[in-house]
């Protein structure tokens, strides 16, 4: 793959990441609006129940806790998966880099001239920089996806409740 092809691929990836971040931000705003609507509706339900205990909506009151636990559990599970995946990839990348550094050190040490040693060191440094930049882009992509995955169950619950409780 040429440098130009890599640049195009990176540009596309950055565009997808930007779109994912924008969609997650919009989803977060929608979730906050829905949460406010749900809190408002449920405060009215609780106030009505306090004013007349015969009118307590026990089903809705019980949902206040169970839905949160379910949504937060799904969110935590998504975060755990994301961080597990990231941890595995970072560990693998570190092992690969240690091997490449060892090869570079051997090349530098066995160079026949100071210029050859500098060339070996330069080649490793440029390669490392490129690998590090790629790994950071991958990490950014994985974190954005993880954020969206973690928000999804909470968003889904809040929006569904807002629609259901809408008066």
Compute the radius of gyration of the chain from its Cα atoms: 26
CA 1 to chain centre: 28
The pTM of this model reads 0.78
DSSP class of residue 166 equals -
Tell me the C-alpha distance between 138 and 21, whole Å.
14
133 touches 9 (CB < 8 A): no
Tens-digit pLDDT profile for residues 11-42: 898 899 999 999 999 999 999 999 999 999 99
* Per-residue pLDDT, 3: 83
* Per-residue pLDDT, 55: 84
What separation, in Å, do the N-terminal and C-terminal C-alpha atoms of the chain show? 58
3-state secondary structure of 110: coil
Domain residue ranges in the chain: 3-165
CB atoms within 10 A of CB 154: 21
Tens-level pLDDT at each residue, the chain (167 residues): 888 888 898 889 889 999 999 999 999 999 999 999 999 999 999 999 999 998 888 898 888 889 999 999 999 999 999 999 999 999 999 999 999 999 999 999 999 999 999 999 999 999 999 999 999 999 999 999 999 999 999 999 999 999 999 86
């Amino acid at each position: 793959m040429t440098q130009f092809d890599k640049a195009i691929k990176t540009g596309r990836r950055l565009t997808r990441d930007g779109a994912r971040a924008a969609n997650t931000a919009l989803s977060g705003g929608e979730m906050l609006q829905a949460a406010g609507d749900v809190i408002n509706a449920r405060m009215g339900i609780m106030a009505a129940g306090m004013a007349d205990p015969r009118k307590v909506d026990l089903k809705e009151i019980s949902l206040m806790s169970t839905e949160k636990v379910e949504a937060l559990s799904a969110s935590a599970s998504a975060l755990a998966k994301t961080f597990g995946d990231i941890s595995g990839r970072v560990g693998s990348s570190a092992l690969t880099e240690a091997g490449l550094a060892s090869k570079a050190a051997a090349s530098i040490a066995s160079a026949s001239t100071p210029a050859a040693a500098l060339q070996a060191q330069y080649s490793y440094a440029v390669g490392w920089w490129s690998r590090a930049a790629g790994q950071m882009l991958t990490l950014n992509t994985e974190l954005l996806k993880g954020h969206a995955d973690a928000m999804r169950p909470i968003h889904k619950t809040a929006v569904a409740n807002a629609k259901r409780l809408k008066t």
